């Protein structure tokens, strides 16, 4: 429940403060990605306690399920941060996209007397650009970011997929099954809006303020989280006797240790990529001619 509150807060802060500066934008979204991946760990802990199908309890998969969820969270946080900066994060002499364009334009203007890339072929322009993933390969950047969110979700949902598709009869009488199905549909719908950029791509300019894909994505995600919580609480109530008799629940120190480990390594990822932003030299501002 704590992680399900943290990630909407982090997302709200990212959207609120990302306009302050270039670095603030990146750092806010680094923290947002970390919070989303922390939520995936919270989901895994709740699933391991209440929603695991009967046949998978007391198996090797169950024993290592949360451990691998911690690893997935750390890796996915790093991957989502990497999708913004790419290799520029590890290069002290690299610089940001807007600054790259500005400095390259200035250089070409001085050498060729052709301001802002005018008359220069594309290969010559590209040679001045840094390895900055979000600028050079936006589609790859988007794909990596979707992967960074989809992989932890898929791992967390394996017990649910098992219940719904492999042995649906096992939980057919469980009222929580319907909620798990609704949660899956809303999550897929959120993923669709996030990646497809609909409806604004069909009517550019008409959804700039209300109804664009990112708003619809957030609405679907919050509804999915609500439905997920309802499903978990139903499983907790309806399966209480069986779980107490058969399940090996994680202790509080184990849960706290998993979350703390995730926080430490995710923050290391975020600090590393944030520090890279401050190794980027600021451009010399062009003096205004009066």
Query: Tokens 């791509």 sit at which residue?
Result: 201
- Cis before residue 57, ω within 30 degrees of 0? no
Tokens of 229: 């919580």
Distance of CA 95 to the CA centre of its chain: 24
SS3 content of the chain, % helix, strand, coil (to 5): 75, 0, 25
Of 155, 175, 152, 172, residue with least CA distance to 163: 172
CA distances from 93 to 137, 153, 194, 219, 282 (A): 20, 36, 33, 40, 11
Whether residue 218 is annotated as binding a ligand: the answer is yes
Whether residue 180 is annotated as binding a ligand: the answer is no
Of 230, 154, 212, 142, residue with least CA distance to 187: 154
Of 10, 68, 15, residue with least CA distance to 34: 10
Tokens of 210: 């209300």
The rounded radius of gyration (Å) of the Cα atoms in the chain is 23
The answer to whether 190 and 217 are in contact (CB under 8 A) is: yes
Binding residues for Zn(2+): 214, 218
Binding residues: 214, 218
């Amino acid at each position: 429940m704590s992680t399900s509150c943290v990630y909407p807060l982090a997302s709200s802060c990212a959207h609120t403060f990302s306009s302050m500066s270039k670095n603030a934008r990146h750092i806010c979204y680094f923290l947002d990605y970390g919070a989303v991946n922390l939520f995936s760990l919270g989901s895994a802990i709740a699933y391991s306690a209440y929603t695991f199908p009967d046949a998978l309890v007391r198996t090797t998969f169950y024993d290592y399920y949360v451990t691998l969820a911690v690893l997935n969270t750390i890796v996915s946080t790093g991957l989502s941060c990497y999708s913004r900066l790419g290799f520029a994060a590890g290069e002290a002499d690299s610089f940001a996209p807007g600054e790259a364009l500005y400095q390259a334009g200035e250089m070409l203007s001085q050498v060729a007397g052709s301001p802002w890339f005018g008359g220069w072929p594309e290969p010559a322009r590209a040679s001045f650009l840094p390895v900055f993933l979000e600028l050079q390969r936006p589609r790859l950047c988007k794909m990596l970011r979707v992967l960074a969110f989809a992989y932890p979700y898929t791992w967390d949902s394996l017990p649910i997929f098992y219940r719904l598709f492999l042995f649906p009869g096992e939980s057919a009488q469980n009222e929580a099954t319907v909620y798990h199905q609704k949660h899956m549909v809303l999550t897929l719908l959120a993923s669709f809006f996030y990646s497809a950029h609909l409806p604004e791509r069909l009517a550019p300019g008409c959804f700039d303020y209300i109804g664009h894909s990112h708003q619809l994505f957030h609405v679907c995600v919050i509804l999915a989280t609500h439905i997920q919580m309802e499903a978990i609480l139903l499983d907790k109530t309806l399966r209480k006797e069986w779980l107490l008799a058969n399940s090996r629940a994680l202790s509080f120190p184990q849960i706290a240790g998993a979350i703390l480990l995730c926080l430490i390594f995710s923050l290391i990822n975020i600090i590393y990529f944030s520090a890279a932003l401050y190794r980027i030299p600021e451009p010399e501002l062009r003096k205004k001619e009066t």
